[in-house]
Amino acid sequence: MATTSFKGIVEKTEISNYGEGERTGKRQSIVVMVPGYVDGYGEKKSADEKFQIDQFNDNIEKNPITVDDIGRKIDVEVYLKGREFDRKDGEGKGYAVGLNIKSFKLGDRVKVATEQDDDLPF
Question: One digit per residue, pLDDT tens: the chain, 122 residues?
Answer: 899 999 999 999 999 998 888 889 999 999 999 999 999 998 999 999 999 999 999 999 888 899 999 999 999 999 999 999 999 888 899 999 999 999 999 988 876 555 555 555 54
pLDDT score for 97: 92
**What is the fold, at CATH topology level, of the domain defined by 2-109?**
OB fold (Dihydrolipoamide Acetyltransferase, E2P) (2.40.50)
Which residues make Cβ contacts (< 8 Å) with residue 74, sequence separation at least 6? 7, 8, 9, 10, 32, 65, 104, 105, 106, 107
3-state secondary structure of 113: coil
- Residue 28: CB partners within 8 Å, gap ≥ 6? 13, 14, 15, 54, 55, 56, 60, 65
Mind listing the pLDDT tens digit for each residue in 35-63?
A: 999 999 989 999 999 999 999 999 998 88
Q: SS3 of 68, please?
A: helix
pTM of the predicted model, to two decimals?
0.78
